[in-house]
Amino acid sequence: MSIWFKEVTLQEVNDFSRGNLGDYLGIEFIDMGDDYLCARMPVLPRVHQPFGVLHGGASVALAETVGSMAANLCVDMTRRSCVGQEINANHLRPVAKGHVVGTARPVHRGKTSQVWEIRIEDDRGRLVCISRLTMAVIDRPGVRPVS
């Protein structure tokens, strides 16, 4: 059974994500299943740290982008929003080129909070970073609270 609030296509998810940090970093949503969402980011000089490998902050940006989108796809976005409260990341392997793919899966989906695990892997399927993202589920401004 799907965790998503409503059926959505990858094209719609990508269209919704245009014109922000993820777009600048080249993040593209590439796959989704009943309980996961995946996004890919190219590892180019714009996401490198000074020593020529993927910047940890870029990995965190990928994790928060895919986790935040997944969280919001689980709620009625006309009434509720999911906003980041906390994120952590363990950087496990350097990557200098190619792509990294972040896969977000829920750990907890509650009425007022969600927790997501995001695993980031390189082109060879090796774990590069593992992240945990906590999201607050809030009423959208101007919308009466859900009882």
Residues classed as catalytic = 64
Nearest to 5 by CA among 69, 77, 64, 108: 77
Q: Which residues of 100-126 are buried (b: 16+ CB within 10 A; e: fewer)?
A: bbbbbbbeebeeeebbbbbbbbbeeee
